[in-house]
Chains A and B, each alone.
Chain A
Amino acid sequence: MLKLEARPEPSRLAGWMSPLLAAAATLIVGFILFTVMGKDPWLAFYAFFVKPVTTLYGVGELLLKATPLMLIAVGLAAGYRANVWNIGAEGQLTMGAIFGGGIALLFQESTSPLVLPMMLVAGVIGGMLWGAIPAYLRTRFNANEILTSLMLVYVATLTLSLLVHGAWRDPEGFNFPQSKMFAEAALLPTLLPETRLNVALLLALAVVAAAWVFMRKSLAGFQMRVSGLAPAAANYAGISARRTVWLGMLIGGACAGLAGVSEVAGPIGQLLPSVSPGYGFAAIIVAFVGRLHPLGIVLASLLMSLLYLGGESAQINLALPSAVTGLFQGTLLFFLLAADVFIHYRLRIARPAKRAVPV
């Protein structure tokens, strides 16, 4: 009989081993899955994990997609550490895109180098505003931020849809629901020639570093961690629960807003009815797979990005249905999170108890 037993203290070894364990388990399941599908599993693994990064363009795409993921996840993690459950990053991202994109459309004719910084700031503000609504509802009316932030996602995406179908629609766009293309001054410069990778990656890495400094080195970050670990101790020390909620929501909103404006000022270059393939939701997984740690989040965002690309590559090269690639991605993420159980618990083989002597 197998038994899970709490460890006296979290195991560091298990902390390092758990991703490897998860990888092994995923490969085994993938092996069975692809074999059953009638595909060579080695080819499938190759298509998933190697093929996407065999070209410079592929590497660029990998980093391009990882950028918004790490940016959003690192912002969400600050809140999650403090038990502030912002699920609405997708909406905050969309608001960031609307605010930043609005500036770009407003200064359509300008070539000023100030347009781009203004867009970025506007994007951050848009995300923060969208994060502030659940924060206000939570601190004023004790409304659950999980629900309010999630519902605001739909409000945000419909607002964007309204704008690109109406006021901001490109009059010369053959009636497609999209805005004008942004001017050159409103686009983020690319980092690597021949790829779509842009300077948003550097911004994201700077934000990750700043988040690490904030959470580890500042009193406010420390107090947020206390709020998450021991709410009663936070209350005892006089750490304001309101401030924690506000900080958590605003940081998450700011990062998601920045990611949103970076998407429209980067690979997209205009406003469309949808500006994200679900980065805001995927970043929740990234945050937890990265164990809410900045460095872990960078790695997790690269993995998630690779899974996106690998899924496409497997669909193209092996004619696998998208449901199967989705299943495979889900399996990996599931094992990654499940294997973390062994950090706090260990498996023991329990021998059946010796029969007691009857009295």
Chain B
Amino acid sequence: MNSAGSPDTVAKSMPRLKLAGITKVYPSVVANQSIDLRVLPGEIHAVLGENGAGKSTLMKIIYGVVKPDAGTIHWEGKEVTIANPARARRLGIGMVFQHFSLFETLTVGENIALALETGRAGADLPTRIRDVSAKYGLPLDPHRHIHTMSVGERQRVEIVRCLLQDPRLLIMDEPTSVLTPQAVDKLFETLRRLAAEGCSILYISHKLDEIRALCHKATVLRSGQVTGECDPRRESTSSLARMMIGSDLPHPRHREAHAGDAALVVSGLSLPADDPFGTSLARINLRVRAGEIVGIAGVSGNGQNELMAALSGERMLADATTVTILGTAAGKLDAAQRRALGLAFVPEERLGRGAVPEMSLADNALLTAHREGLVTHGFIRAEATRAYAEDTINAFGVKAGGADAAAQSLSGGNLQKFIVGREIRQKPRVMIAAQPTWGVDVGAAAQIRQALLDLRDAGVAILVVSEELDELFEICDGLAVIAQGRLSEVKPVRETNAEEIGLLMSGSFN
């Protein structure tokens, strides 16, 4: 396996992994339908697709988490059955999940030792961790505790943990969603180095630019089927998008902002974390004017959740004047009272926070929209409630089985469209949206961004928190960065760039 990284030189060698006719049917959906996939040694192979296209299921099949209903898996030329992840690891398959599985209170070394096969975590483990991490440009101190580390550093732990098992195939599931632009560049260097040494990499993503920059080959999935294979370096972003969503990528219309009076003002907000691994907020100041979108960039876990809870009223504040909504001191008001002032909020978690999973969409409309004439004398108007849900479904193109469908039966993107629609249709004057397009497919994301822009043009003050810099640059008029519980000044979006914001994200401001 000393062949060079370029796939051209290894094209004739035996594939490291070959899937043929992989099919997985769930009771309500066909997740994968006769999928073929060949990954060569030393190849960085993108698996591209929208949410719900079947990427995750396919990766889980390769990693032994899910068993396919039909089809064969060949590993280095031999047919294998991958019954469980331990088996996958013994074959030489490693996977870095989108959501990390690390114990916060343990050290790096302890976390890695836990994951290794028995007998492989000897006394020399710290040395081996240092060696591997130095070799691939992933500096790690084996004795540091996880809870002191940033998300990017935690991802390093996950990667090093895989590398220690000498993988010949590394699966990366949406690895850049939690990284600063600078950290993304570093990760890519590491991945290229690994590939050059002969390790194959399966790279799951929906970010087209990254795939074009990194990958040698791409397999595109749509609705559980392979819709195309290509060399992403020879494709344009729009041709990739066409393969992925079956149509052109919609672009939002962004007109000049006509900002008015300050509608949402935060002054001197300090708030201690309410759990040991949370982030305390320190002296946050922020102004959002009517008719503008202010974005807050930052790596997750830097105080975004705490700030959102303090603004939405889910966490009430000791000092009423730290949050002002349309001129009313709102710090001591609860979420319902702030909504009555004209606030709407789209939270990051859809199931369990933005919506009740077991309840119907009609009931979920009632959750926050009951002030819209859906209740008289304390009693629910069932017809009006259903109509509100139906109208939201139609206006925002939500794919659902109607107003009676349970929230949990919707895909993440569709539920998000419903929640955004439900909030927008309440005609708020201040709108807060946290990660509005996280995990949402490209088409739905564009629709949600357009809806936010239209709302802005209607004179609503909008605050958007997102980890996706591209998104923030696309829709925002001003940008601030949150790092370690502190918020930078808001900069007009035209006077800054991704480089500068990326630097701020690592906390270099006062």
Contacts and interface: CB of A to CB of B under 8 A. Distances in A.
Partners in one complex: yes
A16 interface: no
Contact of A219 (B354, B355, B357, B378): B378
A141 interface: no
A353 B64 CA distance: 12
A357 B379 contact: no
Given A219-B379, A230-B357, A233-B353, A9 B409 contact: yes
B380 A222 contact: yes
B82 A220 contact: no
Interface in A2-34: 7-9
A147 B497 CA distance: 58
A35 B75 CA distance: 60
A219 B372 CA distance: 13
Given A219-B375, A353-B81, A359-B80, A235 B26 contact: no
A236 B80 contact: no
Interface of B: 26-28, 67, 75-76, 78-83, 87, 91, 312-314, 334-339, 345, 347, 349, 352-359, 363, 366-368, 370, 375, 378-380, 382, 406, 409
15 contacts: A8-B27, A9-B409, A217-B380, A218-B379, A218-B380, A220-B378, A222-B366, A230-B352, A233-B356, A236-B347, A237-B367, A353-B83, A356-B81, A357-B79, A357-B80
A217 B312 CA distance: 27
B363 A237 contact: no
Contacts of A240: 334, 336
Given A219-B370, A222-B380, A230-B353, A238 B337 contact: yes
B353 A238 contact: no
Contacts of B87: 356
A37 interface: no
Contacts, number: 88
B84 to A, nearest CB: 8
A237 B336 contact: yes
B48 to A, nearest CB: 27
Contacts of A146: none
A263 B476 CA distance: 67
A229 B406 CA distance: 13
Contacts of A238: 313, 334-339
Interface residues on A, range: 20 to 34
Contacts of A202: none
Given A9-B406, A233-B352, A357 B81 contact: yes
B378 A236 contact: no
B81 A229 contact: no
Contact of A232 (B352, B375, B382): B352
Interface string A204-223: 00000000000001111010
B380 A237 contact: no
A14 to B, nearest CB: 14
Contact of B314 (A220, A222, A236, A353): A236
B359 A229 contact: yes
Contacts of B380: 217-219, 222
A357 B82 CA distance: 9
A1 to B, nearest CB: 14
Nearest to A221: B380
A359 B354 contact: no
